[in-house]
Amino acid sequence: MFKKLMMSTALSAALATAAFAQTPSSPSSSSDSPAAKSESASPSTAKPEASGKMNAGKINFVSSQKPDQWLATKFKGTDVLGSDNEKIGDVSDILFDKSGKVEAFIVSVGGFLGVGAKEVALAPSSFDVISGQNGSSDKLKLSATKDQLKDAQEFARYEPPRPATTGAGSSGPGGMRPSGTPPTMR
What mean pLDDT do residues 38-42 have?
41
The pLDDT value given to residue 72: 86
C-alpha dist (Å) from residue 166 to 77, 161, 169, 172, 176: 43, 16, 5, 11, 10
The pLDDT value given to residue 165: 76
Above 70 in pLDDT, residue 100?
A: yes
Q: What is the pLDDT of residues 66-90, one digit of tens each?
A: 888 888 888 899 999 999 999 999 9
Q: What is the mean pLDDT of the chain?
A: 74
**pTM, 2 dp:** 0.55
- Look at 29 and 137; give whichever has higher pLDDT: 137
C-alpha dist (Å) from residue 164 to 34, 37, 99, 167, 169: 54, 52, 31, 10, 11
